[in-house]
């Protein structure tokens, strides 16, 4: 990771920045390289402009500068429109992650989309928890019968709503709530420089949760069994920055019927945001699924090895952009994705 940043950005990063990128869970070196080349820092370097993003404050300042540039077009400027591979997307220029990738490469999450597609049929129902601006929900909606999209962040809800309309995703229902175990409200941090990192207020403050001075708001929270419990889903994708434990506790009925569940796995989220032991996290998943697939290593573990593997990943600080938990794991599917049994 350090070598990649030094090669592409031409500087030695501080340890916190290296850890931040490690925990983003890039699937391979090419994905990391594409992300680094999509950042504002690389683009400024490429144009020969001076840049100092060696600190978190520098990253946040660059984001605010992009926001000011958008505002200079007029008080009603809402976002930038990107003509991307998977459709037109209205994006927030202050965000350097998803927005940066779409602006510079026209793509986001292609590997994730390809894997998700192996679980979807034309008559499938799909649930995306943590929709963000819809960069995954929009293309997935074209593959299935219906898609439920859940998004807690009020800022990205507006962008998701616009992108669903622009791309004629009429089979998508957007639920503007946080997913949790009980009804109520929760304190929520709205990050700007990496808006996909917005999350329920962590129990432990860390630099890369707070570096862009996120606004704290209260958002409505509902158990997903109350909202979507009547449906059966072939695929659930969940990426909600540490709220996964609480969301899973609020959807046992949905999980009991789901065929596949993809969950972002970041040990520091489980520890510092949710504040629960790894076994408590696994307890929400293990009763409903018989297999664990680790895409980063292309390995499949049976139910007997699932808990031990997750414990080991947690203890070693190994992250994944999306672990897959499966009801069934056929020889045909393993051959399709090239997965190896462990």
Q: Same domain, yes or no, for 185 and 327?
A: yes
End residue of a domain, out of 73, 104, 135 = 104
Q: Same domain, yes or no, for 121 and 23?
A: no
- Residue with the two structure tokens 């049994």: 341
Q: Same domain, yes or no, for 117 and 84?
A: no
Q: Same domain, yes or no, for 95 and 111?
A: no
Predicted local distance difference test score (pLDDT) of residue 60:
83
Report the run of H or E that residue 82 belongs to, with start and end. Answer: strand 80-84
With a CB cutoff of 8 Å and minimum separation 6, the contacts of 15 are: none
| Domain span holding position 237 | 105-341
Q: Same domain, yes or no, for 174 and 265?
A: yes
With a CB cutoff of 8 Å and minimum separation 6, the contacts of 153 are: 132, 188, 190, 195, 198, 219
Cα distance between residue 325 and residue 322, in whole Å: 10
Q: Same domain, yes or no, for 65 and 19?
A: yes
Predicted local distance difference test score (pLDDT) of residue 257:
97
Q: Same domain, yes or no, for 112 and 60?
A: no
Number of H helices, E strands in the chain: 17, 15
Q: Same domain, yes or no, for 132 and 7?
A: no
Give the E-state strand segments of 137-273 in sequence order. 146-150, 172-175, 178-179, 184-190, 199-200, 215-222, 235-238, 260-265
Neighbours of 64 (CB within 10 A): 14
Q: Same domain, yes or no, for 81 and 196?
A: no
Which CATH number characterizes residue 111's domain? 3.40.50.150
Report the run of H or E that residue 159 belongs to, with start and end. Answer: helix 154-166
Residue 53: exposure state from Cβ atoms within 10 A (0-12, 13-18, ≥19): buried
Q: Same domain, yes or no, for 198 and 240?
A: yes
CA distances from 83 to 97, 233, 329 (A): 17, 30, 37
Q: Same domain, yes or no, for 156 and 114?
A: yes
The per-residue pLDDT string of the chain (342 residues; one tens digit each, 9 = 90 and over) reads 666 665 555 556 666 666 666 666 665 666 666 666 666 655 555 555 554 545 667 778 888 888 899 999 999 999 999 999 999 999 999 998 899 899 989 999 999 999 999 999 999 999 999 999 999 999 999 999 999 999 999 999 999 999 999 999 999 999 999 999 999 999 999 999 999 999 999 998 877 788 888 999 999 999 999 999 899 999 999 999 999 999 999 999 999 999 999 999 999 899 999 999 999 999 999 999 999 999 999 999 998 899 999 999 999 888 899 999 999 999 999 999 999 998
Q: Same domain, yes or no, for 282 and 200?
A: yes
Phi–psi pair at 130, nearest 5 degrees: 100, 60
Q: Domain total for the chain?
A: 2
Cα distance between residue 321 and residue 55, in whole Å: 24
Using an 8 Å Cβ cutoff, are 324 and 295 in contact?
yes
CA nearest to 242, candidates 218, 227, 264, 262:
264
End residue of a domain, out of 104, 122, 144 = 104
132: left (phi over 0), alpha (psi -120 to 50) or beta: left
End residue of a domain, out of 40, 72, 104 = 104
Strand 260-265 versus strand 320-326 pairing type: antiparallel
């Amino acid at each position: 990771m350090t070598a990649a940043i030094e090669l592409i950005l031409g500087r030695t990063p501080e340890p916190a920045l290296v850890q931040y990128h490690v925990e983003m869970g890039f699937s391979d070196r090419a994905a990391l390289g594409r992300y680094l080349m999509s950042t504002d820092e690389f683009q400024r370097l490429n144009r020969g402009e001076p840049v100092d993003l060696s600190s978190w404050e520098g990253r946040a300042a660059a984001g605010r500068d992009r926001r000011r540039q958008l505002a200079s077009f007029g008080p009603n400027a809402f976002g930038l429109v990107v003509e991307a591979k998977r459709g037109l997307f209205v994006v927030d220029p202050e965000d350097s992650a998803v927005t940066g990738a779409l602006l510079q490469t026209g793509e986001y999450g292609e590997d994730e989309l390809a894997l998700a597609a192996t679980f979807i049929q034309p008559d499938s129902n799909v649930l995306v928890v943590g929709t963000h601006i819809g960069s995954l929900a929009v293309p997935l909606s074209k593959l299935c019968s219906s898609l439920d999209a859940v998004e807690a962040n009020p800022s990205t809800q507006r962008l998701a709503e616009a992108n669903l309309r622009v791309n004629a995703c009429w089979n998508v229902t957007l639920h503007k709530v946080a997913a949790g175990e009980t009804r109520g409200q929760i304190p929520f941090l709205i990050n700007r420089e990496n808006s996909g990192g917005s999350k329920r207020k962590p129990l432990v403050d860390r630099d890369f949760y707070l570096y862009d001075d996120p606004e704290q708001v209260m958002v409505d929270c509902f158990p997903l069994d109350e909202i979507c419990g009547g449906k059966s889903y072939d695929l659930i994708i969940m990426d909600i920055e540490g709220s996964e434990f609480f969301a899973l506790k609020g959807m046992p009925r949905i999980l009991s019927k789901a065929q596949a569940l993809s969950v972002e796995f970041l040990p520091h989220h489980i520890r510092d945001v949710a504040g629960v032991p790894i076994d408590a996290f696994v307890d929400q998943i293990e009763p409903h699924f018989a297999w664990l697939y680790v895409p980063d290593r292309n390995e499949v573990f049976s139910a007997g090895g699932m808990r031990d593997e997750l414990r080991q990943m947690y203890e070693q600080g190994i992250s994944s952009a999306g672990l897959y938990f499966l009801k069934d794991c056929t020889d045909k599917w393993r051959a399709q994705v090239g997965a190896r049994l462990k």
